[in-house]
Structure 1
Amino acid sequence: MAHHIFKLPDIGEGTAEAELVAWHVTIGDLVEEDQPVADVMTDKATVELTAPVSGRILALHGTLGEPSQVGSPLIEFETEATAETEISQPVAASAGLPTRDATDEGATTIAAIPVAISHQEKSNPVDPAATRPKTTPAVRARAAKAGVNLADIRGSGPQGRIRQADLDAYLNGESRKVGQPSPAALPPSATTASSTLDYREVKLTGLRRKIAEKMEISSRTIPHFAYIEEVDVTELEDVRLSLNTRYNGSRPKLTFLPFLIRAMAQILPRYEQINATYNDESGIVRYHAPLHVGIATQTDNGLIVPVLKNAEKLSIWDMAEEISRLASATRNGQARKEELGGSSITITSLGTLGGLATTPVINAPEVAIIGPNRIVERPIARAGSVELRKMMNISSSFDHRVVDGYDAAQFIQELRSLLENPLALLAG
């Protein structure tokens, strides 16, 4: 027998620490090499870590919701291998990262600690992977926060896969195994309030904590200024609805966003200071030639911003398809790491909840954010008469260190002009 310590690996991009958001194993479990053991979260994504060796779990280190330093002990294994031959590597499976050298800090061996194993366990080892509930890292993290054992939930997905909706139903008392406690009997973290208190306290962890930190930095360090303009989207909506009716599912369904992004792609080459990022420490502005649009997406775990890369090269239809794919992957916790970073400007939209106007917070290190509000029909004076028109406000915020008010206003006015003449967006 040998004792193997699995240390938190370097999961890329110079990450110094990662937050532990979910355990997939407990002390005493028998695990196989490459079996998922924990989820950790960086600034960019949640990463599923897998076992570097096969063996029994002796100890778990780290606290859920707290950051751990790269190289710090994570899991202690008892293995069949001897200390001299124990060279298996830590692997962050979902990130697709290369293995590390056997001499790396991430894989260390020390003297064996004897643990009694029954004859039955030796001859008939349990395969943990066969009984582990099938679901996504995002669902696992949310279940861990709520104190829910995923084995108690019936999954409605393929092969019993547990979806976010299944977890919602369980927490709401709408679906549970016979004999399992009702939601009222779940741990306090999974209920709406304590029976003796009129409030509950929950520490911000995981994605919620990352969002809080980023918003705090953006609000504190960036001198925001807002600009709001109304846009008559009557013709654009007529074109959009007409195209969706004409192709009736044979092409991706068009929403407002592809038209907005297409308009931005046509205008931004003349406003390079808006399609830019600013490094506070170096004082360097990076002007981006391609348009990488972050699309703020609400998920069960909070706001995540997947990125539509090289939008200037895409047609309206390609944009619609890619936006739909990115949104679905993000909400299901399946977005790749490279899809969750590298944006040069962000769009944030609340859809029908968009209100009349907003003051969106810039997604640092970007210098601008665009927020379309909801479309409403109201009377507008046109050529001496009053007509019902479909109107929408565009809210925007800019970093005043990089973008002047005049340039921002001019950019939004050109954007308005294009959106009010949608045929120009379909040309080419």
Structure 2
Amino acid sequence: HKITASPAVRQRAKELGVELTDVKAAGGHVRHADLDAFLAYGSGQGYRASHISARRDDENVKVIGMRRRIADNMAASKRHIPHFTYVEEIDVTAIEAMRADLNANRGARPKLTMLPLLIVAICKTIPQFPMINARYDDENGVVTRHGAVHLGMATQTDAGLMVPVIRDAQDRNIWQLAMEIARLADAARSGSAKSEELSGSTLTVTSLGPLGGISTTPVINRPEVAIIGPNKIVERPMFVGDTIEARKLMNLSISCDHRVVDGWDAANYVQALKKLMETPVLLFAD
């Protein structure tokens, strides 16, 4: 007898790779419930939907080269450094509006992301919190607080995570930072970065960009003592005075080495960053 079914049922059966003639249905009219029953009981009789991937064999991948060095460094960092992470919410509505205005008038200069603005904020606040921009030689018990900010920029490449370094970030304006970020990221991803461009950082920023979650707990780039992780920007309704407004919000994470950075200092440092980023005109004030 002829099998009948609605267009929706036919489409679903097609997507599942099910022949309607295989499905038992009262009166020959196949419904969704009949498909459900077939999938529940028919699959035990050797049925496999066409969209299900075939089983793959196990694969052993040797951890060598750059991937091995990254693995060893991450393991050493977690083994030797007592991490703590502090997260704060920042209202980035104003700085995002300013960024849009700057990009609209950028001319031939590179398009600004949030990163150059964050780096300016980091560099302006570091002089009051020198313990954040430091390296710890734990074998000799010496902390070196650096005067210059050599900013590591965690960058995902085909070879794994690399950290090219923006030298003397404190001496660069937002446009120079944007150009250097693009140059170093391209060099890292193409494999043309020089060894001196991949070492010597005093503080690292790590961001997953559009993949960033609402909060991260980044691992410190040893022997540094801190790493800063901006998370993704989300728009949410917020109380502003007596009204509710749509505001752009971003969580900012910082992980620190608790041997040399106190929680109080990390919290105060992030609050200083928050003040600059929520009042962005201060980024360009002396």
- TM-score band, normalised by the shorter chain? 0.7 to 0.9
**Cα offset, 1:285, TM superposition:** 0.3
Amino acid corresponding to residue 184 of structure 2 in structure 1: L
AA in 1 matched with 2:200: G
Unaligned runs of 5+ in 2: 1-53
Match of 1:221 in 2: 80
CA separation of 1:310 and 1:201: change in aligned 2, threshold 3 A: same
* 2: CA distance, partners of 1:204 / 1:230: 37
Q: Distance in 2 between matches of 1:380 and 1:352?
A: 22
The CA deviation at 1:253 is 1.3
Select the residue among 41, 45, 64 that pairs with 1:205: 64
Q: TM-score, normalised by structure 2?
A: 0.79
Partner of 1:417: 275
1:300 aligns with 2:163: no
Deviation at 1:198, TM superposition (A): 2.7
Answer whether contact 1:362 1:397 (CA < 8 A) is retained. yes
- Output the CA distance in 1 between the equivalents of 2:55 and 2:99: 54
Inter-partner Cα distance in structure 2 for 1:241 and 1:271: 30
236, 256, 272: which is aligned to 2:95?
A: 236
Equivalent residue for 2:167?
Answer: 309
Instruction: For residue 105 of structure 2, give the secondary structure of its aligned residue in structure 1.
Output: helix
* Change beyond 3 A, Cα 1:196–1:232: closer
Among 217, 223, 233, which residue is 1:365 paired with? 223
Q: CA deviation at 1:378?
A: 0.6
> Which of residues 141, 144, 148 is equivalent to 1:286?
144
The residue correspondences of 1:124-139 to structure 2 (distance < 5 A) are: none
How much does 1:280 deviate? 1.5
1-structure distance, mates of 2:69, 2:106: 41
Residues 277 and 286 of structure 1 are in contact (CA less than 8 Å); yes or no, is this contact kept in structure 2? yes
**Match of 1:199, SS?**
coil
Q: How many residues align?
A: 233
The 2-side partners of 1:241 and 1:315 are apart by 17
Q: In the superposition, relative to structure 1, how do residues 378 and 201 fare at CA in structure 2: closer, same or farther (>3 Å)?
A: same
Q: What do residues 112-163 of structure 1 show as CA deviations (whole Å, max 9, x unaligned)? A: xxxxxxxxxxxxxxxxxxxxxxxxxxxxxxxxxxxxxxxxxxxxxxxxxxxx
Establish whether residue 393 from structure 1 lines up as the match of residue 281 from structure 2: no
Relative to total residues, which structure has the larger helix share, 1 or 2?
2
1:206 maps to a residue whose letter is G
Q: What's the secondary structure of 2:68's corresponding residue?
A: helix
TM-superposition CA deviations, 1:285-336 (whole Å, max 9, x none): 0110000000000001100000001011111111111111111111111111
Map 1:8-407 to 2 at 5 A.
198-248=57-107, 250-407=108-265
Q: Normalized against structure 1, the TM-score is what? A: 0.53
- Two-structure CA RMSD over aligned residues (Å): 1.3
Q: Give the residue type in structure 1 aligned to 2:164.
A: P
- Encode CA deviations 1:267-300: one digit per residue, 9 max, x unaligned: 1111111100001111110110000000000001
User: What secondary structure, in the 3-state scheme, does the structure 2 residue paired with 1:386 have?
Assistant: strand
Report if aligned partners of 1:316, 1:426 keep a CA contact under 8 Å in 2: no
SS across alignment from 1:247: coil
Tell me if the contact between 1:359 and 1:397 (Cα under 8 Å) persists in the aligned partners.
Answer: yes
Contact 1:356 1:393 in 2 (8 A): yes
Aligned AA for 1:243? L
What residue is the counterpart of 1:161 in the other structure?
none
Query: Using the alignment, how far apart are the partners of 2:176 and 2:190 within structure 1?
Result: 21
Distance 2:275 2:138 in 1: 34
Q: Which runs of 4+ in 1 moved over 3 A?
A: none
Which secondary structure does the structure 1 equivalent of 2:223 belong to? coil
Aligned mates of 1:404, 1:199 — CA distance in 2: 45
Work out the CA distance in 2 between the residues paired with 1:261 and 1:307: 12
Residue equivalent to 2:18? none
Task: Measure the CA separation in 2 of the matches of 1:227 and 1:269.
Answer: 20
Identity %: 55
Measure the CA separation in 1 of the matches of 2:241 and 2:249. Answer: 17
Distance (Å, rounded) in 1 between the aligned partners of 2:183 and 2:91 = 29
Which blocks of at least 5 consecutive residues in structure 1 are unaligned?
A: 1-194
Counterpart CA distance in 2 for 1:197 and 1:370 is 39
Aligned-partner residue type, residue 220 of structure 2: I
Q: Which amino acid aligns with 1:383?
A: G
Taking the aligned partners of 1:424 and 1:271, their CA distance within structure 2 comes to 18
